[in-house]
Structures are given as structure tokens and as C-alpha cells.
Structure 1
Amino acid sequence: MPDVVVFGLGGTIAMTGDAGVAPALSAEQLVAAVPGLAATGIGVEVVDFRRKPGASLSFADLAALSDAVAARFADGADGVVVTQGTDTIEETAYLLDLHHAGPQPLVVTGAMRNPTLAGADGPANVLAAIATAASPAARDLGCLVVLADEVHAARRVRKTHSTSGSTFQSPNGGPLGVVVEGEPRLLNRLPGRTAVPVDPRLPKRVGLVTVTFGDDGALLAAADRLDGLVVAAFGVGHVPEDLVPPLADLAARIPVVLASRTGAGSTLRSTYGFPGSERDLLDRGLIGAGFLDPLKARVLLHALLAAGADRDAVAAAFAVAGSETGQGAWPWPG
């Protein structure tokens, strides 16, 4: 039977308490509370890696976790599960995906209802995640997110509701599959994989600015202290005309990525031509995010800069990762 390693990072899934819950349960306690796990025959090893709320996880934590996961895969683990707070799963799972080039399943899960509440979803999510990590069907898919018996690709998934148990959705393409009677059933696959080396040159400082109605660009002044910037623009990649000069100036000095704040769909390249349109901004040196939402775009830009990518390499990487076709020249060999 396969062997799966479970890394616990904390989060709602591990929280208890009377006056406001906080991470308290160990990874061992989480796994021990999962009904039906022993009957699967899957060998499970548990690592109590962190005990933090999802909001407090850092790039340094995830770099250390990526190294630890790679070491377990090198030692022969068939799959890995990471349990953590759902606040940042859509970002941390994508970062893990970028740092995982191997074929073994890497699955992230969590819970929307903590263990003190009726109907806590943690045990069911852990069981489904372990089953997915142990399944040959989940190989070569990179990092997956499994909650509410749905299997999502890390680079697509988003948290779309603050409290709902079905909060995790993949607007661009839908889930990759479902877990039925304890068995993951993968219904579609990603067109390609994109991996970035884990590099010790962390940290890099990458900002995210969301453009709003009547925006005067005041927040862009802080970008002088950044290594890179993501702009969450209107619609297909539009900003107010007054923001064009400062964005063009920034793009001449640091990589500036143009994403859409809408939550689904791709930025465009050549449809609109007015000042502040996507065509105007790309001509001024901004880099289109394509289908990557602003949070994912920031994670990718951070990983690229930490690995030493220059602007040309950043642009090439976004052309591949944001296209959803798997085609193009990725800066690192597969």
C-alpha cells in the first residue's frame, strides 16, 4: 500500500479554544481523529511542521516546507498532504506547485469549520486528501487542493466565500475531479506543468495594488521600495489614464504585471487602444498575467524573482503560466 506523509501547518482545521479558537491540535491529533483512515490501508506518517493560522504563514515557511516535501519524496514517499488554514490556501498551494517538479501527488487541504463546531469538515477533508495523495491517478498533476470532495488544480483554485464549505472553486476550467466513495476520480487534466527552482535569495518584496474607481495612483508611490509589482486592473486590463505615466515609469525599473481584478477570465493583449487600455500598458512595458488572477500572479512573480529571473525571463514565464495552454518557452527545463 502507498505511504503518505502529512505535514501539519495549523489553521482552522487544528484550532480549539473557548474564548476564540487558535491553532492547538498537533498534526498527529488531526490524523488520529479521521474516521475510516485505518480501513484504507494507506500508511501515514505525520510531521508537525508549524502551528500557525493561515494568515501568518510566510514565504520563508513555504520555502522550508518545499524543501521538506522534496526530501520526503526523495526518501520514497508516494504522496504528501499539507493541512493548513484556508485563508491563504489559494496562494500557498500555488507556490508549492511552482516548487514541485516531481510526479508524486502533493495535496493541500484545510477546513472551514473548526473542530469545536457541529459538522466540522476537517476529518472528511483530510481523508479525501490522503486518498488523493495515495492515488496513481493524481500523479503528474503538480499540487492539488482537495476540499468538500472536489479536486482542484493549485494554479486555478480560489477561495470565493468567507464561510461556505464549498468556498473553493476553479473559475477558469472547473475542478479536475471529485472524490467518490473514498476514491479520487480525475475527469480532466492540466495541459502542462510549470516549476521554478527554490532559491535561497528570499525574501523578495512584491506588491499588489488593486485599481479602483476614481483611483489617483497614490498607492503606487510605495512601489519604489519593491522588487516587483502586480496591478489588479479593471476588466481585461484597464486603468485610469492618470495611472499610465507612473506605471510606465515603474515598468522601466521593475517587472510590473497586469492582471484582472474580476476573478475569472484572461487579460487581453490587443483589443482596446485608449490610454490606460491593455494594449497601451503592454506597449509601455507591463507584462500580461493572462488567466492568472492577481494573487497567483504575485506568487509567481515572487518565485521568479527569488530564483534570479530577469525581466525577459519573467515575461516568458507569464506567457506560459497565464496562457492555460502549456505551450511556450518556460525559463527552466522541464
Structure 2
Amino acid sequence: MADDGRRVAVISLGGTIAMTTQTDAGATPTMSANDLVTAVPGLADTGIRVDVHDFRQLPGASLTVSDLLELATYVETLDVDGVVITQGTDTIEESAYLLDLVTSGDLPIVVTGAMRNASMAGADGPANVLAAIRVAASDDVHGTGCVVVFAEEIHAARWVRKTHATSPTAFNSYPGPIGYVAEDRVRITARPTLASLAINLREASSPAHTTIYTVGLGDDGTLLNAVGAQAHGVVIAAFGAGHVPKACLDVLSDLAKRMPVVLTTRTGSGPVLQRTYGFPGSESDLLERGLISGGTLDPVKARVLLQLLLMTGADTDRILHAFSTV
């Protein structure tokens, strides 16, 4: 087979894929990376050599930026043909994009997990791990950046989103997957343009507090003002193509003078516009007030990028450049 002799590292961070139900209190992470790999039927038939690494044993919601920066450093020390990271699905869309921004080189990095823990009927972890290992071992994946493999679909880290709380097909992306696995073969059908941001993970040491503020109907800016008082940077999840209530404008203008404020859309896909609308609170008005366009990044991804930039001490010009190139 084409994958014979390939060597892939499987690194476990915990999450549902590593959980079993031990008590009436519910599922908790108990399985090691070796347990996960051993449970995969048909893996030996691929000819891929697998190294296992236990890095964390946490639910996805408890992973931190520091955990992932340490993981990225660890990945760069491995002498393998590809890497699979298994983790909780709650934060896959964030961790995959963070790894995409800070890892260098052409090493395939694949993130996967499970929606059903190992104690449940129809547990999806083994199938996802097998597909992820095949993807990590494939020459065709080089040059796609970090990817998420779920339900035999391959999603670019920049676009992937968790769109359902419980479905085994919870992960989707717009404009769609960049490939899939079928009949044991990895097929790449599109290649994302990779941004060159040169974020040095070893410089990401400055403390930074960032958050997402979602604008709602009738919002008067009171809570936004309170949030801004505690933050070093804020991502605004705005209406439509980048619109907010007129009552929020004074607060946003003040915040934009003190910190980076990134404008995104809460819709989940599509771009923030620049000059289509001209009313107070429109995208053109907000950009004139000093807000930074998040472009096509959703609020979650924009916060990851903003967090890393602030942790590396980026100034306003560098932040503007970074968001203009992703």
C-alpha cells in the first residue's frame, strides 16, 4: 500500500474520544493514546507505524492557550511523517487554528476527536482516528496547513466550525471540506491559501486577556463597556456584514482608541463588508472609528489570532497587517 513504512505520531489531549463512563456522574477522560490506537480496527492493515504520546488528559473545555503552545513546541521535536492530535471537540476549531498559525514547515498536522465516548453504542472515535492517521500519512496533505478530520471529511483549520452539540457530523466548514477519505484513500479536492504571519510561538509570553462580545437586539453598550474595562483586546460579533446598534457607537469608539477591537460577523460565514452601508453603526462607520476588519474570520478564529498577536507583543500596525492577510 502507498502508506507502507510511513510513521505517524498520535498525541492524546483527552476529551470525549478518551472518555468512558465510570460512574453515574458521567463520562470522564480515562483512556491513553495507546488505548485509543489499540481500539482502531484495521489499523495494522494500513502498514503505517504509529507512535503514541500522552500529552494531556483533559476535557476540551479545559485546554488552554499555554497547553497548545507547549504542544506546538513538542510537535516540532518529532521525527515522523505526520501528526494526529486527539482532543475534546468543544475547542477543536480553536486549537486547530492556533496550531495552524504557530507551526512551521510542511509536516501534516491532523486534529480529530469524537462526539460519542467509548462506552456508547456507535462510538465514532476509532473511525475518526483511523481516517486521521491515513490523512497524516498522506503525501497529498502536504501544503494544506493544519486540518480537522471528522466523519471522513477533511476540513481546513481556518474554516472548520462545530455546528451541532451532539451529532457525529458536527463539524462543517464554509465553503466546504477540502477533501475526504473514501475506500481507504485520501482525496484532496481543494487547497486553502495559507497565510504567512510568522507568529513565533516562543515569543508568545506576554499576558493578554481577549474576549468575544456578541451584539444583540437593543444592545446599548453598557455591558460592552464593562467587558472592555477588563480586556486587552475585544472581538465584536456583529449583526450581518458588520453592523451594531447606534447606541453602542460611543463605547466602541472609546475602546478602539485604547485597544484593538476586531469586527466580525456573528452569522458564522461570509465576510465583514467595508463600504456597502453608510448608516451609523454600519461596517464603513465602524471601520472609520478605528475598528479592525476580521475579514472572513468568524469570531472564534479572530479571537485566537488576536490573542496570539497580543501575546507576542504585536503593535497596532502588525495587528492590522495580520488581519488583512488571513
In the superposition, the TM-score normalised over structure 1's length comes to 0.93
**1:224 Cα offset (Å):** 1.9
Which among 261, 265, 275 is matched to residue 266 of structure 2? 261
Q: Greater shift after overlay, 253-262 or 190-199?
A: 190-199
Q: Does 1:136 align with 2:142?
A: no
Q: How many residues align?
A: 317
Q: After TM superposition, list the pairs within 5 Å mapping 1:85-234 onto structure 2.
A: 85-171=88-174, 173-195=175-197, 196-198=199-201, 199-220=203-224, 221-234=226-239
CA contact (8 A) 2:145 2:194 kept: no
**Cα 1:202/1:129, change in 2 over 3 Å:** farther
Counterparts of 2:185 and 2:312, CA distance in 1: 37
- Look up the SS of the partner of 1:303 in the other structure: helix
Counterparts of 2:158 and 2:223, CA distance in 1: 27
CA contact (8 A) 1:111 1:125 kept: yes
Deviation per CA, 1:225-280, whole angstroms, max 9, x where unpaired? Answer: 21111000000000000111111111111000000000110000001111111000
Counterparts of 1:5 and 1:150, CA distance in 2: 20
- Look up the SS of the partner of 2:76 in the other structure: helix
CA contact (8 A) 1:53 1:85 kept: yes
Aligned to 1:67: 73
Deviation per CA, 1:169-198, whole angstroms, max 9, x where unpaired? Answer: 012x21000001222100010122334210
Aligned to 2:50: 44
**1:202 Cα offset (Å):** 4.2
Aligned to 1:78: 81
Counterparts of 1:56 and 1:43, CA distance in 2: 30
CA contact (8 A) 1:60 1:203 kept: no
AA partner of residue 285 (structure 1): G
Counterparts of 1:293 and 1:265, CA distance in 2: 8
Counterparts of 1:48 and 1:62, CA distance in 2: 14
Counterparts of 1:217 and 1:182, CA distance in 2: 53
- Look up the SS of the partner of 1:107 in the other structure: strand
Sequence identity percentage: 56
CA contact (8 A) 1:177 1:184 kept: yes
Deviation per CA, 1:140-184, whole angstroms, max 9, x where unpaired? Answer: 11100000000000010000011111110012x210000012221
- Look up the SS of the partner of 1:232 in the other structure: strand
- Look up the SS of the partner of 1:236 in the other structure: coil
Question: 5+ residue gaps in structure 1?
Answer: 322-334
Counterparts of 1:264 and 1:291, CA distance in 2: 7
Which among 314, 317, 322 is matched to residue 317 of structure 1? 322
Counterparts of 1:53 and 1:78, CA distance in 2: 27
Aligned to 1:249: 254
AA partner of residue 56 (structure 2): R
Q: Greater shift after overlay, 308-317 or 195-204?
A: 195-204
CA contact (8 A) 2:218 2:245 kept: yes
Question: 5+ residue gaps in structure 2?
Answer: none
AA partner of residue 216 (structure 2): T
Q: CA RMSD in A?
A: 1.0
CA contact (8 A) 2:195 2:325 kept: no
Deviation per CA, 1:202-224, whole angstroms, max 9, x where unpaired? Answer: 43111110000011212222212
CA contact (8 A) 1:142 1:193 kept: no
Deviation per CA, 1:84-103, whole angstroms, max 9, x where unpaired? Answer: 00011011110010011210
